[in-house]
Amino acid sequence: MFDSSARHPPGKCHPGTREKALKIITDWIIDPAPEHSVIWLYGPAGSGKSAIAQSIAELLWQAYQSQYGGSFFFAAGDNMGRGDGNKLFSTLAYQLAVQFPALLPVINDTLFKDPMLPTRSMEIQIKALIVDPLLQVSNWSAHTPTIIIDGLDECANSTTQKNILSLISYYIRHHNLPLRFLIASRPEYWIRDAFEVATIHDLTLPISLNEVGDADGDIERYLVAEFAEICNKYSLIMCSVVQPWPPTRIVKRFVEESSGQFIYASTIVKFVGYSSDFCDPREQLQILTTAGPHRATAFSTLDSLYAAILSRIPDTHRVALNLVLGGIILDLTVQTIEIFLEVDAGMIAINLAALNSLIEVQPVEFEAEEVLEVFYGPRGCPDETNIRFCHLSFREFLQDQARSGQYFVDVAEISHLFLFTIFNLFGDALEQKPEVEQHKT
């Protein structure tokens, strides 16, 4: 839950940041008859979704308590069960029973008759512990309370995640479930497909953190305020430092490196001012602004995030993954990776889908289409697609073997492979060798 000791201290929005997203969600919560029963808040890894969900939960609890239904914050790999989807509906049912006294005897009676309900399937739990009790209560609130589900992408596996969305959609659509849901997640392709194609689509208001508000401006405000707090905390050390500290150019550099992702900025703040009770912020900042192995140690939290996302890709795809990542670093398009790095198109699609929370894929115009037609032949040349990383720090991670380990991308080697293939393919094309025909089929 939002106030669980397992999450203490929870991350939340810094004052004055994410105001547009918070306003959209708050307006929806207090609207007595919203057009949509679900909000899907999505964005890349580290973009601040959980902080927004936490801030909304606290706001509801403090100012609109009658409209707070419950919350569940998933966390992959957590030993407290926060990655277990089977705990979701029983936890929400408990909160609903505590929040709304009219529900308490109904849910109590249900559990008395079958104490094993919390161990049953999700389908049985949501019906027996939430849907049926809500439909039995005659004096239920006319203003539907809000349920907050954060980190859906960190719940168990894709099948469980899709099942949760399917159950919520079914009971809202077919049983008029008197609840509304704020669901935050990364835009993993199976979650995106559910919200864009499945039955929950018509019920949902999507909010992309990449498109709402001024992320760079928010990050700059956050950094300036936090650095000022660090100066106050270490006033004896910092009293002789020229203000503002750090210089504006350094703050601007950190904003640019953050790429709109709050997790990068918060990592910088923690390293500079909160590594220990005896750290010197001046020395910590010097480490961050100087290339070298010590700088990499500041980003261990980010590195763990990147490694966790990459670890979900099967080992059998590792060679293709390395080539795809190398192609992105070299600023190659999808079709160029397929042809000149000789990666199967299906394998590229699988890896890009798995990397969805770390990359952006965009169509681009390509002037040398006739060149690609030599290799695609009768199939025709597909639309050219460009890829870029959402995080500049992810690029650094991949190219630093000490940080990325098994996920290290040797850009020089992949660049050599790219040039070698170009010379061979164009040589074949110019000489009209039989091998060219192989690339046309």
Would the pLDDT of 334 be above 70?
A: yes
Co-location of 134 and 282 in the same domain: no
Question: How confident is the model at residue 368, as a pLDDT?
Answer: 46
CA angle 144, 150, 151 (to 5 degrees): 150
Task: Please check whether residue 155 lies inside any domain of the structure.
Answer: yes
Paired tokens of 141: 């609130």
- Give the DSSP H/E element, type plus range, for residue 12: none
Task: Please check whether residue 437 lies inside any domain of the structure.
Answer: no
Tell me the pTM. 0.84
Q: Which amino acid is at 328?
A: I
Co-location of 313 and 247 in the same domain: no
Question: How confident is the model at residue 376, as a pLDDT?
Answer: 45
Co-location of 43 and 104 in the same domain: yes
Co-location of 338 and 407 in the same domain: yes
Question: How confident is the model at residue 41, as a pLDDT?
Answer: 97
Co-location of 363 and 284 in the same domain: no
* Number of domains making up the chain: 3
Co-location of 12 and 148 in the same domain: yes
Co-location of 78 and 119 in the same domain: yes
Domain around 129: 5-208
Co-location of 108 and 144 in the same domain: yes
Which CATH number does the domain housing residue 112 bear?
3.40.50.300
Q: Report the pLDDT averaged over residues 31-45.
A: 95
Task: Please check whether residue 298 lies inside any domain of the structure.
Answer: no
Task: Please check whether residue 218 lies inside any domain of the structure.
Answer: no
Task: Please check whether residue 430 lies inside any domain of the structure.
Answer: no
How far is it, in rounded angstroms, from Cα 235 to Cα 226?
Answer: 14
Domain boundary residue, one of 208, 239, 261: 208
Co-location of 271 and 368 in the same domain: no
Question: How confident is the model at residue 293, as a pLDDT?
Answer: 74
Co-location of 127 and 189 in the same domain: yes
Would the pLDDT of 380 be above 60?
A: no
Co-location of 56 and 112 in the same domain: yes
Domain boundary residue, one of 179, 208, 237: 208
Name the residue with higher pLDDT: 189 or 436: 189
Task: Please check whether residue 433 lies inside any domain of the structure.
Answer: no
Contacts of 266 (CB under 8 A, 6+ apart): 11, 222
Would the pLDDT of 377 be above 70?
A: no
Task: Please check whether residue 131 lies inside any domain of the structure.
Answer: yes
Co-location of 146 and 57 in the same domain: yes
How far is it, in rounded angstroms, from Cα 186 to Cα 167?
Answer: 20
